[in-house]
Amino acid sequence: MDFMILTGMSGAGKSRAADTLEDMGYLCIDNMPVAFIPKFAEMYSRSSNESKKVAFVIDVRGEIEFDTLIKELDALKERGYSCTTLFVDCDSEVIINRYKETRRIHPLVPIKNLGMKDAIELERKMLKPIKKYSDYVIDTTHLSVRQLRDKIFAINSNGNKKELMLTCMSFGFKHGIVTDADLVFDVRCFPNPFYITELKDKTGLEQDVKDYVFSNGEVTTFLEKLYDMLNYLIPLYAKEGKSQLTIAIGCTGGKHRSVAITEEVGKYLSSSFKTVIVHRDIAKLYDSIKQEY
């Protein structure tokens, strides 16, 4: 039996994450009282159900004291069950905007008689213990639905890859550095396609931009040295028990150089590790691209 606890901030994307888990064959149960989980695990493991993967979706509506949840999860692990905890997080301002767009109410607003901002901050405080306990934390602030799915699929991959999950993320320094990055590399030292008229409005995902970026021999040398560094560092992070590592590569706007180089780095690392490629700021360039949760 494989059990997963899916929890996190309201509005951060738990429903989308649950949809992905269902597509992967999980039986998803929303807000089962935590005290019932061990008994359910015992009964379900003896049943004839074809699905042996169960995800419990837990949020502040169903579990005010998350210390209780942690104790029950520890007890499940002691009894030999495989149990993974996935926490979905998001920037508070983005959560507020998502609630405005959907015209829904944060669950703590009516329960605690609070304003939206105060409800989110209280929820963040309540969830702090389980976030610290979680095996994986996914921040959806800059992720599309597809990218969230990719991360969850990577976590649940059964391939012969190492357990450490990597996120290779491109970004633009003018939009702010990636605050949750473990390793940050600046590629603004290389020629910028932005100043080439026929490339200005394209992105590093397009072949002619890639050709321009990699026509510079210094970029090839940079990648060789970067691969040597990553091959040395990543096993050290894994040895220390880290379950996820974010490698951020930035240029000025997050459109050309960082995108092309991040794609190359991500493809290289995916041969040995679970790897997800994210282009944080490329969506900022197009009004037609909108992240939905």
pTM value is 0.66
Q: What is the pLDDT of residue 64?
A: 59
Sheet holding 162-172, edge to edge: 183-186, 244-251, 162-172, 273-279
Report how far apart, in Å, the C-alpha atoms of 218 and of each of 27, 208, 235 are. Answer: 50, 18, 26
Q: Which residue has the tokens 């019932």?
A: 36
Cα–Cα dist 167/169, whole Å: 6
11 neighbors 291 (Cβ within 8 angstroms): no
Q: In what order do the strands lie in the sheet with 136-139?
A: 27-30, 53-57, 2-8, 82-89, 136-139
Give pLDDT tens digits along the chain (293 positions): 788 999 999 999 999 999 999 988 889 998 888 888 888 888 887 776 655 789 999 888 765 567 788 888 888 888 888 889 999 999 999 999 999 888 888 988 988 888 999 999 999 999 999 999 999 999 999 888 888 888 888 887 644 444 688 999 999 999 999 988 999 999 999 999 999 999 999 999 999 999 999 999 999 999 999 999 999 999 998 888 777 899 999 999 999 999 999 999 999 999 988 888 999 998 775 433 333 32
Q: Which residue from 111, 117, 95, 116 is spatially nearest to 13, judged by alpha carbons?
A: 95
HSE-CB of 108 using CA atoms within 13 angstroms: 21
Residue 170 near residue 279 (C-beta atoms within 8 A): yes
The gap from C-alpha 180 to its chain's centroid, in whole angstroms, comes to 11
Do the beta carbons of residue 168 and residue 269 sit within 8 Å?
yes
pLDDT value at residue 163: 65
Residue 136: phi and psi, rounded to 5, are: -135, 140
CA 68 and chain centroid, separation = 26
What is the structure's pLDDT at 45?
78
pLDDT, one tens digit per residue, over 92-132 is 999 999 998 888 889 889 888 889 999 999 999 999 999 99
